[in-house]
Amino acid sequence: MKAVTRTICFGVGLMAFATPASADQAKCESDARAAMTEVFHPVAMRQNVQMVMGNNTTRNTVISTPDKRGLTMNEQGVPVSLFNDGKFYTTSDGGKNWKLMSESTPEQQRAYLDGLAKQALEATNIECAYGVDLDGKTVDRFSMDYALYPSGMKMKGTYWRDAQNGFPWRIETVSPHNTIIQDNEPAPNAVVEVPD
């Protein structure tokens, strides 16, 4: 009987040590997957984007707003493309005239979001670091490996989110072809005008 008692106590002891670590990892994975899928943010933002391919680096800026609008400008600040809730436009004259290039249906937009959710759910090698420094800001950092929807390309993603409000200060994605670094900043007064 004593042997049985010791075995039970030993098992309970193992559970006591294992549970906090398991809970921490579960929280880490949940937070990281949330970072991957939060594509619509409650504040307008300015996204400064660098794409590095070998020895070449290109830069552009995107202004995105909570009403699903976005304006992309080249390195000189000249508008080149615009999206508005599923409609994608381009311009060849700096934004004086816009041409509608494509339009996605509500069903296609939902399918895309479902694909992002699947991409996040199947992410692996998730790592988290809470309360770390990023240029003087306290952030939570999440990194993971995943297959890009819908191509299946293998990717490495890292997200730096504000520890208090979740704002995505930086996002870095690495693929076999390039590295994209997106540094974001709130732009509360930003407005994106859409074509008539």
Report the distance separating Cα 103 and Cα 173, nearest Å. Answer: 26
Report residues of the chain scoring pLDDT below 50: 1-18
pTM score, two decimals? Answer: 0.85
CB 66 within 8 A of CB 72: no
Q: What is the DSSP string of 79-100?
A: EEEEEETTEEEE-SSTTSS-EE
Report the distance separating Cα 179 and Cα 54, nearest Å. Answer: 9
Sheet holding 124-134, edge to edge: 99-103, 87-90, 79-84, 69-73, 56-65, 45-53, 179-186, 168-174, 154-162, 137-147, 124-134
Residue 23 pLDDT = 81
Residue 1 pLDDT = 44
Residue 3 pLDDT = 43
CB-based contacts of 154, cutoff 8 Å, min separation 6: 145, 146, 147, 148, 175, 176
Sign of CA dihedral 153, 159, 165, 169: negative
CATH number 3.40.50.1980 is the correct assignment for the domain at 2-186: no
What letter does residue 148 receive in the DSSP assignment? P
Strands (E) in the chain, as ranges, are 45-53, 56-65, 69-73, 79-84, 87-90, 99-103, 124-134, 137-147, 154-162, 168-174, 179-186
Residue 20 pLDDT = 60
Residue 2 pLDDT = 43
Domain ranges of the chain: 2-186
SS3 38: coil
